[in-house]
Structure formats: structure tokens, C-alpha cells
A and B are shown apart, each in its own frame.
Chain A
Amino acid sequence: MTTALRDWRGRAGLLLLLLALVTAIAAPFVTGGDPGNVGDVVATRFLPPFARDVHGVFHFLGTDRLGRDVWTRLAYGGRISLAVGFLSVLLSVMLGTTIGAAAGWWRGWPAAVLTSFTDFALALPRVVLLLLLVALWRPNAALVVLILGATGWMPVARLVQAEVRALAARPFVEGAFSLGARSRRVLWRHVLPNALTPVIVAAALGVGNAILLEAGLSYLGLGVQPPTPSWGNMIASGRDTLVNAPWVATAPGVMLVVVVVGCTLLGDALRDVISHRSSVIGREAL
């Protein structure tokens, strides 16, 4: 991680992510408070950015059609979007690691079944599944996390499986076995910690992807439901006011880009560190 921060991409990525995270966590302190606050609609609706309403309240990013402060909604919406992104990736990492480790460590038909299952799941069109699942049950944030997690574990499983396979042939595994450790213990204590490095990269890239998908679903009205703000449903609500209040849809889109760029840059920097380290290890092994 420290090595990744020596790369400008690592620093920039982390900075962008922290910016969004801090804003979201500190939302009550950096904003006017209630994101659903509808006050004097007629007097405060569609105020442009940097405007003051009749009550003298300053609106950094303007207001939407119900007079709600866009900056406040942006910060609170970030809580939902970021939480959905991180939690769903956490879920898919856990699922993918379990399945991938089992398929890579043990041999015989269960491993073969798990591998084919992963290949099959990888070939499913993810968005089609997402649309179906979200539309059939009543969508809420927890369900979106569950569904994004359950449809995103396959790349992680593949990575972990390949890594576990490769590590199983290494001398330290044989060493652990010869000391009398049991198979499950060797996998848990010796192999898995070493196999998780590429997963971190996949997770960093996955968070960006999950946040975009959540926003897309919310945009279609199938994700987090209004009045709870999420960046996706904020864009959807700004769609109808593109002409007279373009800032309503612009602001959450820019935040989405910032966060996803942050994830991608951080992931790129981490990947370079890891591939560099593994090539060094490879040379030592020779």
C-alpha cells in the first residue's frame, strides 16, 4: 500500500476517494442537514448554484424542483452510493474467495463442479439478471447490495482459484504439511493470505463498477427509492429539468465520475505494485 502511494495514481485515487468518503460521513456537519427537507417550495425551487434563497440560506449547488438543497442531497446520497458499492464488493469478495479457494485447493468432482459453475455464472449477462432480480422484489438498498454482491463474485473466484492452485505447489505448503498441519489449516493460514493480493486490485476496480451499476439501476427507478437520495435517483430526478435546472443532474454525475476515477487509479497503482513484486519473487524462485 505504501508503495502504491509512491505512484501518483495511487495518491490521486486515494485522495479522490477520501474526498467523497469524508463528505459522505461528515454530511450532517458540512451541509444544511436534512436531505429530504422540503420547505417553501415556490420560493426556493430551482435556485442556481451559489444562490441565496429568500430566507438568506446559501445554496452551494442550488436547489431542485422541490427546493431541496442539492449539495445536502449529494452528501447524503453519497452515503448510500458508497455504502452500496463497498458492501456489495465485500460480499462478492467473500463469496468469490470461498468458492475460488475451494475450487483451487481440493481436487476431484466438487472442484470441477465449482469451476464449471463459475464459468457458467461468468457467461450470464449481469445487467439482465440485475434488472430481473431488482424488478421482481421491491427494491431497497439492502437488496441492491445483496444482488450486486451475488452477481459480482465470479472474477474474484477465478483469481483466487488460479492463485491457490499456483501456491499449492510451493515449498512452504509442503513444509506446513510436513509439520503435521491439516489441509484446512494450511489453506486458511498459509495459502489464502498469500492468494488475496490480486483480490485487492479486483476489489478496488469492482467498487467503481458496483457504484456505477447501482446508479444505473436507481436511474431506471429500480434501485434505491426516492425520497432517500442516491446519486442515481438524483440524476433521474434531474432528467426532467435538464433545460431549466441542469445542475440537478450534473452534480451527482460529476461525483460518480470522481469516485469511479478514484477507484480505478488506486486499482491501477496497486496492480503495478503487485505485478512488480510477483515478478521479483518469480526471479528469486528461479
Chain B
Amino acid sequence: MLRMIARRVLTGFAVVTGVVTLTFLLLHAAPGDPAEQLLGPTATAEQLAAGRHALGLDRPLAVQYLSWLSRFGRGDWGTSLATGRPASAMLGRAWPATARLVLLSLVLSYGLGLGLAAVQAARHRTTLDTTLSIASVTLVALPGFWLGLMFVAVFTYLLRVLPAFGIAGFDVDELHGWARLVDALRHLALPLATLTLIGIGGAARFARGAMLDAIEQPFVVAARAKGLTTPRVMRHHVLRHALIPIVTLLGLSLPALFSGAVFIEAVFAWPGVGRVLVEAVQARDYPVVMAATAVSATLVVCGNLAADVVAGLVDPRVRAREEVTA
């Protein structure tokens, strides 16, 4: 088990390094550079050359890469070209917001999705099953940013009950205790609901398949033969067995959930990594783009790692397979 974790940590480290290197190369291959961005369209050739020299852009690519990597490794992520703030501070504030949104949505969508799938598996091939199948396919097909907009139209503009933008109200510093919590929850409601609804569809579709596989196993027939009620059979025998593939999927769905969060954050002005990334990319804010890419790759890799570890804890066979291949 420890050996497996060590291997995965190494692979994850390689992936993050790869992503960062790729980003670095892409930024340098793309037309335009930070000097042009900083000095604007009226800059003369000499000014541009001086700017490039000041930023170290006239050195060989390999030298630039190594010096950037060593500074990055030491925690010096540079300052944002657009805001003048340190990139590390911008991301340090952003990643908890993304993690909060994505993790809560993960828990909620799997909890509700599993419930939906259990109902479908227990009532397999009935009208209820078909209806719920259509519902889950529709949920998966919903474009997150569009669903978010529709929620804003209904809950913010039409009913005037929930805020559409940001993570907290303008008066958040005046709020204490309950009021502060309620404010946070109200801001969380729409983004979380959007991300979760789409997540429920995916989770339910997959869990239904896993449960139908489990339901055909002899031990389920035996449990029924003993006279256990359907809810009890579903909870204690089918769900347990179906959890193994589901936990594996949980890890695999993290990158997708994070991608979804990038668009949702843009819609709801949620101050997370996705929004920082989108804004930095649009403004060609190179240091922030590099830092945001590194942070988002790390978040995704950590999620996958956590899922692998949990899958190993739940299912001894996963551990065994890892040890054979290692």
C-alpha cells in the first residue's frame, strides 16, 4: 500500500512538472510576449528590447526555464502583470474557494446520485427506472454555464431570493455568527446547485450500472431468499459491492468536476482558481497563468491520488494488483 502511494506521488509529481513545462513552452511559442503586453502598442523597438532584457526574455530558452523553475520551486511565483500583486498570494486566496465548491459538490452529487441509482436498480426495467434514466441523461447533457445563467435568471432576477455573484456579500465584515454563515450559504447555493445537478446525472448513470452488476450476484439472491426487505438488501449488500467501481470513478471524475468548475466560476464570479486562470489567460498575465496552471494540475493530481488510496482501502484486490505490477 505504501509502495503504491509512493509510486503515485512520484507519477503525480511528474505530471505537474510536465504540465508546467508544457505551459512554459506554449507561452513562449505563442505570438506576443510580456514585454509587448507591459509596454503597449506604442513602444519602439529599442524600448521592447530593453523591456525584454529587463524581464530576462533575451536569454536562451533553457536558461529562462531553469531559472524560472528554481524560483518557482523556492516559492517565488512572480508578480501579476495585470494587478501587480504576487501570483502566489492571488492563488493562495483562490484555491480554498475552488476546493470548497468542488468537494461539497462531489459529496452531494455522489450522495444523491447513489440514492437515485439505488431506486433505479431496485425498480429495474419499470417506468420509474426509464424516467429517471432520461432525467440523468438530461442532467449530464446540461451545459454548466447555461444552467447557471438560467438559475440566475430565475432565482436572482425573477424571484429575487438568492445572490448571483461572488462568495460573500459586500457587508460580510459586519456580519457575525449565524448571519455570516447564512450569507456564505446563500452565495454558495447557486454555483453549488449547478455543479451538483450535473454531477448527480453522471454519478447516477454510472452507479446504476454498477448496482445492476451487483444485483445479479448469487449473494444478493441469497440475501433475498433469507427474506430481507428490498431497502435492506440494497443498503447492505448491493451498495457495498457496487461501491468499489464507484470510488474509482470518484477519482476520475475530479478533473471533469474541476473543468466544470472553471466555467461555473466564470458565470458566478466565484473567486476560485478557474476564474483566476480565465482572467489571467485573457489578459496574458504570464506569471499568474503559470502559477494557476500549476495549482490546478496539483489539485487534480491530489484528487486522483486520494481516490486511488481510498479505492485501495475499500478493495483489497486493488492493492494486490498494484503489488503485482509494481
Contact = CB atoms under 8 A, between A and B. Distances in A.
Given A128-B293, A243-B157, A250 B150 contact: yes
Interface stretch (A32-40, A88-96, A131-139): A131-139
Contacts of B121: none
B230 to A, nearest CB: 25
Contacts of A126: 255, 259
B54 interface: no
A1 interface: no
Given A124-B18, A131-B277, A136-B27, A264 B140 contact: yes
A242 interface: yes
Contact of B262 (A131, A133, A246): A131
A261 B135 CA distance: 10
A249 B14 contact: no
Given A239-B149, A253-B150, A257-B141, A135 B281 contact: yes
B263 A216 contact: yes
B143 A212 contact: yes
Interface stretch (B56-64, B171-179, B217-225, B294-302): B294-302
Given A124-B18, A131-B262, A136-B30, A216 B137 contact: no
Contact of A125 (B137, B138, B258, B284): B258
Contacts of B15: 120, 123-124
Interface residues of B, number: 46
Contact residue range for chain A?
35 or more
A268 B278 CA distance: 34
B19 interface: yes
Interface in B276-292: 277-278, 281-282, 284, 289, 292
Contact of A132 (B12, B26, B144, B258): B26
B289 A132 contact: yes
Interface of A: 120, 123-129, 131-133, 135-137, 208, 212, 215-216, 219-222, 235, 238-239, 242-243, 246, 249-250, 252-253, 256-257, 260-261, 264-265, 268
